[in-house]
Structure 1
Amino acid sequence: MPRPQKSRSPDAAGTGARRAALKLLDAVLRRGETLDAAGAAATQGLRPDDARLAHAIAGETLRRLPQLDELIDSAMERPVAEDAKSRMVLRLALTQAIVLDIPHHAVVATSLSLIDGGPKRLVHGVLSKLLKSELPDLSRPTLPAKVAGRWALWGKDVLDAAREMVAQRPPLDISLKAEDVAAPEGPSFAPLHRRVTEGGAVALLDGYAAGGWWVQDLAASIPARLVPRSARRVLDACAAPGGKTLQLAAAGFEVTALDLSERRLQRVRENLERTGLEARIVARDLRRHKTDPFDAVLLDAPCSATGTFRRHPEVLHRATPRIIAEMSELQAELLDASARLVKRGGSLVFATCSLEPEEGELQVPAFLARNPEFRIEPVPSVAGIAPTPKGWMRILPGMLGDKGGLDGFFIAHLVRDA
């Protein structure tokens, strides 16, 4: 006769959001996914406010992972594995208690609902011990040791700025279709740019529905600004999600927006429709694209995205040396493919939202060695950011820090001999 199953205790109120946060954390740390990619599946069936809470818990946890682990280990005789479910739950619980100011009784109840058996007793014991003690201030997170080691080449000031930026939610930058469109108020640091001071859902802000602007970090808008005005036909070589395509179309260029992902291109189409701008859409691998050469090619290449860590804290943990090496190899292939599509005398603007030299400073000399018909065209200063002596632009943590900062970027303008 089968033994009767023990009935499971009902979940505490609010457990759904915490369960989703646990799925998000697991997707990032064990499967190497982004929060955006994991979000739909993890929060399926949740109310919008619970889905937002799940993302907030997971995101704030990822911003402070080294400190949380140090705190957890201090309360254990034998620390558990980094990917153990009990550690995952404890990370989320402490984030709620310390960072999000969620009452301790709610933290304990919802955390214990996520776990069964011996790990449940372990989680309860560690939480009880820590919540009764004086909890540390986690308002200034530390970078993961491996990340700090890689970024040490940029100097102490940049490392300090990066640590400050980890804890800060970045401001909302928008690019304007024209200077006279309806848009939220805020300072402007470059033509057709505004740093928004209003809060709330983006789609409800002034002018969004009318199509006068789109969300785009100021740093991400710089590559399209470098396309020469003399160009006519321009290829946005890795176009999705479409901010650069919209910039180029608004500037009057004849734009082809190419991307490998048909699904991601759908977002480009939606933004073109909303803004009333026009571009030709092509779903194809750039490395296999054959067409008449363009006056200019803009390649904002796939990368480790470590420069976006303040918006996407998961990159601090998923951008491993293996991923950086794989992305660097892909960028070299895409650069060579782009070069073949640039007419004589034309421009190739190369960019990555990465803080890794392998995805920027080391790419350009290697490209020029393979493609000696190209040369570096020094870029102008934009928003007070000056080019380096090499002629390219390197945007680092701390730049425009007193005005809200920028995503990390590498940008170079290359010109083919006439």
Structure 2
Amino acid sequence: MARTQSDDEIPGVPARRAALRLLDAVLRRGDPLDQAAPPVLRGIERGDDRALALAIAHEALRWMADLDALIDAATKQALPEDAKARAVLRIMLAQALRLNLPGHAVVATGLPLLTGGPRRLAHGVFSAVTKGAVTLPDAPTLPASAAIRWQQAWPERVQPIAKGIAVPPPLDLTLRDPSETALWAERLGGHSLAPGHVRLARAGAIDALEGFAEGAWWVQDLAASVPARLLGQGQGKRALDLCAAPGGKTLQLAAAGWSVTALDKSARRNERLSENLERSGLTAEIVAADALTWTPDAPFDAILLDAPCSATGTCRRHPDVLHRHAAMDELTTLQAAMLERAATWLAPGGTLVYAVCSLEPEEGEAQATAFTALTPKPVTDTELPEGIAATNGHFRSDPGMLADHGGIDGFFAARWTKA
């Protein structure tokens, strides 16, 4: 009797099955996508298949409300939110409408994820949608919870933010030596939006790019590089980077001449920090400890607190944050406690920068307003990337800004000094 080909032996099915599992990890368990991905993708040998699984999951999460609207319009009876057929249709439509994969390939690799009636249902819905020559809107429809929050906080920015997350962002690099900005922009075929920054179109493996092995640069969104820039040049003075791993800001501070202590309580993340330091040829003292219980031996001339937060500002790169609920009260309480504690470690004349990659005012503006232990040191326009202005003496960005240049993550940073 002839042996039939199992579903997972069909080329492309394992990548789609992985994408389905990633959606389940985010939507059902609430896991961050970058934490769910390694174990899910471990069994997929080809790098391009792993990349495809991630791309499918990202696009399905980015456009989920709009994909669901198409699915509901093509079904007589609405599928339950957690129905497997709905999840499979999300990844099938994401491939066809966002990744432009051929319909026959999408069907051949998507239907094996279902059995029985749901398979026939999915085939019918997919055919009805794609034969109708439908298109998705210019900007994704935000999940209701995010839309309500941001409409209240940023009524004039909601639509630009939505448009800013419509496509995966370009690749931002921070240079070890800002004086070589023009050199690396030319070598890598990119362009710069600030000294020490190069932006590239996403293409290929990062570790294959010129300059990676020698540590001439590291990957870091332009917005994420601003808080460390606000501390200026170190000239050998002592700086503390709190919640430092995986180390982008530690590398910035070390490259700017600070003698850096990098503190993070995660041993696993500290390993990545150590690897990044070794690759770049920069040095820092790494401390594995909890900032709420650790005490330094001496005060610091500069402190950078990139506090734990909801990370909603990274939604253009991590659309899963739009679908995960953060315990805001716990986060804001932790942020305030870390900010007050860090202030006691600052030397007279020193500078403290507080930052979060969040679009939530509770984690940014409200924290800065409530903090009175130090003297505000307003951020100025000249310290920020061209095209972004300081807001009430703070740095505030969102994914709708710099739209003509590829956008920027949502970030907040405030700065104080100790008299």
Structure-2 change in CA distance of 1:289 and 1:271 (3 Å): same
| Matched residue type, 1:295 | D
**Secondary structure in 2 aligned to 1:287?**
coil
Deviation at 1:155, TM superposition (A): 4.3
**2:203 counterpart (199, 204, 207):** 199
**Secondary structure in 2 aligned to 1:264?**
helix
Distance 1:133 1:325 in 2: 46
The count of corresponding residues between Structure 1 and Structure 2 is: 404
Distance 1:230 1:103 in 2: 54
Match of 1:290 in 2: 295
**Secondary structure in 1 aligned to 2:113?**
coil
**1:237 counterpart (239, 242, 263):** 242
Distance 2:369 2:81 in 1: 39
| Matched residue type, 2:80 | A
| 1:386 has 2:389 as partner | yes
* Percent identity for Structure 1 against Structure 2: 53
Note the alpha carbon deviations across 1:270-300, whole angstroms, 9 max, x for none: 1110111000000110111111221111001
Distance 1:338 1:145 in 2: 36
Distance 2:322 2:394 in 1: 25
Note the alpha carbon deviations across 1:256-283, whole angstroms, 9 max, x for none: 0100101001111111101110000001
Q: Would you say the 8 A contact 1:99–1:138 is kept in 2? A: no
Distance 1:217 1:136 in 2: 30
Deviation at 1:169, TM superposition (A): 2.0
Q: Would you say the 8 A contact 1:259–1:283 is kept in 2? A: yes
Q: Would you say the 8 A contact 1:185–1:194 is kept in 2? A: no
**Secondary structure in 2 aligned to 1:20?**
helix
**Secondary structure in 1 aligned to 2:190?**
coil
Structure-2 change in CA distance of 1:198 and 1:135 (3 Å): closer
Q: Would you say the 8 A contact 1:64–1:138 is kept in 2? A: no
**Secondary structure in 2 aligned to 1:343?**
strand
Match of 2:216 in 1: 212
More moved, 391-400 vs 402-411: 391-400
Deviation at 1:154, TM superposition (A): 5.0
**Secondary structure in 1 aligned to 2:244?**
coil
Distance 1:150 1:111 in 2: 35
Structure-2 change in CA distance of 1:252 and 1:13 (3 Å): same
Deviation at 1:187, TM superposition (A): 2.5
In structure 2, stretches of 5+ residues that fail to align are none
What TM-score does the superposition give when structure 1 sets the normalisation length? 0.91
Which runs of at least 4 in structure 1 moved beyond 4 Å after TM superposition? 154-157
Aligned pairs for 1:15-414 within 5 A: 15-46=13-44, 47-178=46-177, 179-180=179-180, 183=184, 184-197=188-201, 199-229=203-233, 232-291=237-296, 292-318=298-324, 320=325, 322-368=326-372, 371=373, 374-381=374-381, 382-384=384-386, 385-389=388-392, 391-414=393-416
Structure-2 change in CA distance of 1:119 and 1:332 (3 Å): same
| Matched residue type, 2:244 | A
Note the alpha carbon deviations across 1:160-197, whole angstroms, 9 max, x for none: 21121122221211111112386324322222122235
Distance 2:41 2:342 in 1: 38
Note the alpha carbon deviations across 1:104-128, whole angstroms, 9 max, x for none: 2222222221122343333233233
Note the alpha carbon deviations across 1:239-268, whole angstroms, 9 max, x for none: 011110001101111100100101001111
Q: Would you say the 8 A contact 1:394–1:411 is kept in 2? A: yes
**Secondary structure in 1 aligned to 2:359?**
coil
